[in-house]
Amino acid sequence: MSRNTELFERACRTIPGGVNSPVRAFRSVGGSPRFITRAQGPYMWDAEDTRYIDYVGSWGPAILGHAHPEVIRAVQEAAVNGLSFGAPTEAEIEIAEAIAARLPSIEKVRLVSSGTEATMSAIRLARGVTGRSKIIKFEGCYHGHADSLLVKAGSGMLTFGNPTSAGVPPEFIKHTLVLDYNKLQAVEAAFQEYGPEIACIIVEPIAGNMNLIKPLPGFLEGLRSLCTQYGALLIFDEVMTGFRAGPQGVQGLTGVTPDITTLAKVIGGGMPVGAFGGRADIMEHIAPIGNVYQAGTLSGNPVAVAAGLITLKLLAEPGFYEHLEAQSAKLANGLAERARAAGITMCTDYVGGMFGIYFRSTIPTTFEEVSTCDLELFKRFFHAMLIKGVYFAPSAYEAGFISAAHDDAVIRQTLDIAEEVFAKL
C-alpha cells in the first residue's frame, strides 16, 4: 500500500472524508489524495517524496510560489513576537492601507480569517445598509459555505433556490435568488419583479468555481447599472480573482466598480486572511461604529497579516502581472496546441495568473456550457498528468493557478508531459 493511501485510510478514521475541505478528497476524479509534506516554488512533494509541478497553489494563495523566502522570513519575524493578541496592531493598519491603495472602490476594509467569513459578512452588511432581505447569486459561483449562499437554482427562471446542503433550513435561503451567469435579461427580470426588496447581487466577476468563466461584454456593466438603478449593492467576490486576475482584480481590468469587495487567498499569502471593504459610508455600518455586527478572535492576526503584507508588496514589483499572464498564456496555449495536434477535443483560457482547461470544443460562457465538458476525459487527463508529476486541480469545475515561480523550464516540462499524455488519452 502506498504511503499516501495509508495516510488517507488513517485520516478517514478521525477526519470526515479524510480531509478538512471536500475538494481535497479527489472524489470527483477518483483515487487517493496525495498527502503533501513540503512545497517550494512551483513544486510540492508528497508522502512518498514524489515531486509535482503544482497548478493548484493552495487554490490561489501561492501566487509567489510556495515558501517564498521573504514570506517565510516575515512570518518567522512576526511569530517570535507572539502569535495573537486580540488587540489592534500597526500591521493591520498597513495591510488595510495597502488594500485600499490598490482597490479604489475600497475606502475602508475589515479583516477576517477566510473567504467565507468575508462573503457572509458582506451579505449581512448589504442587508443592514439597505434594510432589504433578498440577494441574487449565480449558478456555478461559489462564495464559501455560509447558509444563505449554499443554494442551487430553483426549477423556474425566477424561482428562489433550493439548499445545496443538508442542514440549511428552507427559511434560511428563501431570500436567495439564483440566476444564470452571463444572462443579464434574467437579472433585469428579477429586478423588475423584486427590485425594491433586493439588498445586493454577489458575483464572482470572473468565475473560478465552475472552471474559469469570463463575464460576457456588458454583463458586469449591466449588474452595476441595475444595482444603481434599484438602490441595491453590488458585491464583487474577488476572493479568488483579487490580485490574481490582475493588480487591481477584475474591477481594475473592467472598470466596473462594486460597492463591496470580498478578498482572501492572495492577501494572506498562504495564511488565513480574508477581508471585505468598500466606500466609507457603507463600511461605517459595521460594528463597533455601526449596527451591523461582525467580529473574529483571529481577525487581523499579526502572523497571517505579515505574510499578506509582504506578498502584496512583492506583487507590486514592476512587470509582475505581465510576467504572470505571459506564463499563463504559454501554458494554456501550449496545452491547447498539443491537444489539437493529438486530435483531442479540448480548449483553454486564461486571465492573469489563472487558467481554465475545458474538454469541449469551445470556451464555455455559462454553467450549462461548462457542464457539457467531457468529465471522463478530464479524469483520465488529470490522473495521467498526476502520475507523471503534474498536479492540476482535482475537479473539472475548478480553475488552475500559476505562480511567479512557474518559469519557462517548468512550463516546457509540463507541456512535454502533456504531449505524451495526449498521445495516449
Q: Is 142 a catalytic residue?
A: yes
Comparing CB distances to ligand KE4, the nearer of 205 and 334 is 205
Task: Please count the residues of this chain forming the interface with ligand KE4, following the rule CB under 6 A.
Answer: 18
Residue type, 53: I
Angle at 267 between CA 263 and CA 272, to 5 degrees: 90
Looking at 32-40, 112-120, 253-261, 310-318, which segment touches ligand KE4 (CB under 6 A)? 112-120
Comparing CB distances to ligand KE4, the nearer of 89 and 395 is 395
Indicate which residue of 43, 52, 142, 194 is catalytic: 142
- Contact flags string 20-59 toward ligand KE4, x per CB under 6 A: -x-x-----------------------------------x
Residue 386: how many other CB atoms lie within 10 Å = 18
348 near ligand KE4, judged by CB under 6 A: no
The upper half-sphere exposure of residue 116, i.e. CA atoms within 13 Å in the direction of its Cβ, equals 10
Cell of 120: 457572509
Contacts of 15 (CB under 8 A, 6+ apart): none
Question: What is the closest distance, in whole angstroms, from the C-beta atom of residue 119 to ligand KE4 in the complex?
Answer: 6
Of positions 116, 299, 348, 366, contacts ligand KE4 by CB under 6 A: 116
Question: What is the closest distance, in whole angstroms, from the C-beta atom of residue 254 to ligand KE4 in the complex?
Answer: 16
Comparing CB distances to ligand KE4, the nearer of 245 and 344 is 245
| Cα(278)–Cα(412) distance, integer angstroms | 41
Comparing CB distances to ligand KE4, the nearer of 114 and 248 is 114
Indicate which residue of 54, 237, 259, 349 is catalytic: 237
The residues with which 11 forms a beta bridge, in sequence order, are none
Q: Is 407 a catalytic residue?
A: no
The upper half-sphere exposure of residue 107, i.e. CA atoms within 13 Å in the direction of its Cβ, equals 7
Of positions 75, 184, 240, 351, contacts ligand KE4 by CB under 6 A: 240
312 near ligand KE4, judged by CB under 6 A: no
| Cα(292)–Cα(149) distance, integer angstroms | 19
Comparing CB distances to ligand KE4, the nearer of 246 and 334 is 246
In angstroms, the Cα distances linking 341 to 145, 306, 346 are 41, 46, 11
Closest CA to 354 of 398, 315, 305: 398
Within 255-404, residue ranges assigned H as helices are: 280-283, 302-315, 320-341, 367-370, 375-387
Quote helix, strand, coil % in the chain, to nearest 5: 40, 15, 40
Site for ligand KE4 in 201-220 (CB under 6 A): 204, 208-209
- Contact flags string 55-94 toward ligand KE4, x per CB under 6 A: ----x-----------------------------------
Q: Counting beta carbons within 10 angstroms of the beta carbon of residue 318, is it exposed (0 to 12), middle (13 to 18) or buried (19 or more)? A: exposed
Comparing CB distances to ligand KE4, the nearer of 239 and 312 is 239
Looking at 114-122, 175-183, 290-298, 329-337, which segment touches ligand KE4 (CB under 6 A)? 114-122
Indicate which residue of 134, 183, 265, 379 is catalytic: 265
Of positions 214, 367, 398, 404, contacts ligand KE4 by CB under 6 A: 398
Site for ligand KE4 in 357-396 (CB under 6 A): none
Q: Is 265 a catalytic residue?
A: yes
Closest CA to 401 of 328, 339, 329, 338: 328
Contacts of 52 (CB under 8 A, 6+ apart): 34, 43, 44, 45, 46, 386, 389, 390, 391
Cell of 59: 487554490
Q: Which residues are catalytic?
A: 142, 237, 265
| Interface ranges with ligand KE4 (CB under 6 A) | 21, 23, 59, 114-116, 119, 142-144, 204, 208-209, 237, 239-240, 264, 398
